Amino acid sequence: PGAACPPPARRVMVAARALLFWALVYSYCGVCACIAGLRLLWSIGRRPGETFRWNPPSCLNDPSLGTHCYVRIKDSGLRFHYVAAGERGKPLMLLLHGFPEFWYSWRHQLREFKSEYRVVALDLRGYGETDAPAHKENYKLDCLIADIKDILESLGYNKCVLIGHDWGGMIAWLVAICYPEMVTKLIVVNFPHPSVFTEYILRHPSQLIKSGYYFFFQMPWFPEFMFTLNDFKVLKSLFTSQATGIGRKGCRLTAEDIEAYLYVFSQPGALTGPINHYRTIFSCLPLQHHEVIMPTLLLWGERDAFMEVEMAEITRIYVKNHFRLTILSEASHWLQQDQPDIVNKLIWTFLKEETKRKRE
> Looking at the DSSP assignment, which residues form a beta bridge with residue 292?
319
What is the number of domains present in the chain? 2
Task: Please indicate, yes or no, whether residues 333 and 208 belong to a single structural domain of this protein.
Answer: yes
Q: What is the pLDDT of residue 172?
A: 98
Q: Which of 287, 339, 323, 295 is nearest to 165 (CA)?
A: 339
Residues 149 and 258 in one domain: yes
Question: Terminus-to-terminus CA distance in the chain, angstroms?
Answer: 61
Of 124 and 5, more confident: 124
In this prediction, residue 1 carries a pLDDT of: 43
| Tens of pLDDT, residues 90-129 | 999 999 999 999 999 999 999 999 999 999 999 999 999 9
C-alpha to C-alpha distance for 360 and 358, rounded to whole angstroms = 5
Q: Is the pLDDT of residue 248 over 90?
A: no
312, 259: one domain: yes
pLDDT band at 38 (very low <50, low <70, confident <90, very high): low
Q: What is the C-alpha to C-alpha distance for residues 209 and 261, in angstroms, rounded to an integer? A: 26
- Encode pLDDT of 19-31 as tens digits: 776 676 667 666 7
pLDDT-based confidence at 2, cuts 50/70/90? Answer: very low
Domain for residue 191, yes or no?
Answer: yes
pLDDT at residue 294, as a whole number: 97
The residue-averaged pLDDT of 257-282 equals: 95
Nearest to 270 by CA among 20, 89, 101, 38: 101
Whether the predicted pLDDT of 3 surpasses 60: no
* Residues 224, 260 share a domain: yes
Phi, psi for 295 (deg, rounded to 5): -55, 135
| pLDDT given at position 283 | 74
Q: Average pLDDT in the 167-182 region?
A: 97
- For residue 32, what are the domain limits? 9-51
pLDDT at 53 exceeding the cut of 90: no
82 domain residue, yes or no: yes
The CATH number that applies at residue 295 is 3.40.50.1820
- From the candidates 127, 200, 261, 278, which is the catalytic residue? 278
Residues 192 and 141 occupy one common structural domain:
yes
Q: In this model, does residue 6 exceed pLDDT 60?
A: no
Residue at 3 is within a domain: no
Q: In this predicted structure, what is the pLDDT of residue 324? A: 97
With a CB cutoff of 8 Å and minimum separation 6, the contacts of 105 are: 97, 98, 165, 334, 336, 337
Catalytic residue among 127, 257, 333, 338: 333
Confidence of residue 130 (pLDDT cuts 50, 70, 90): very high
Residue 218 shares a structural domain with residue 305: yes
* Domain contains 56: no
The span from the CA of 270 to the CA of 130, in Å, is: 10
pLDDT at 10 over 90: no
Predicted confidence band of residue 52 (pLDDT cuts 50, 70, 90):
low
333 counts as catalytic:
yes
pLDDT tens profile 289-337: 689 999 999 999 999 999 999 999 999 999 999 999 999 998 999 999 9
As a whole number, mean pLDDT of residues 169-198 equals: 96
Cβ proximity of 262 and 53 under 8 Å: yes
Beta bridge partners of 185: 161
pLDDT value, residue 22: 66
300 lies in some domain: yes
**Would you state the pLDDT for residue 42?**
60
Q: Are residues 150 and 240 in the same domain?
A: yes
pLDDT score recorded for residue 290: 87
Instruction: Examine the domain organization and report whether 295 and 322 are in the same domain.
Output: yes
How would residue 13 be classed by pLDDT, with cut points 50, 70 and 90?
A: confident
What is residue 264's predicted lDDT score, i.e. its pLDDT? 97
* Percent of residues, the chain, with pLDDT higher than 90: 76
Q: Is the confidence at residue 4, as pLDDT, over 70?
A: no
Please tell me whether residues 146 and 274 are part of one structural domain: yes
250 compared with 38, residue with greater pLDDT: 250
Do both 28 and 90 map to the same domain? no
Q: Which of 94-98, 250-254, 302-306, 341-345 bottoms out in mean pLDDT, i.e. has the lowest?
A: 250-254
**Residue 357: band (very low, low, confident or very high) from pLDDT cuts 50, 70, 90:** low
Query: Does residue 287 surpass a pLDDT of 90?
Result: no
Q: Which of 147, 166, 304, 338 is catalytic?
A: 166
Asked whether residue 132 falls in the same domain as residue 247, the answer is: yes
In degrees, rounded to 5, the angle at the alpha carbon of residue 305 between the alpha carbons of residues 284 and 336 is 85
| Same domain as 244, residue 275 | yes
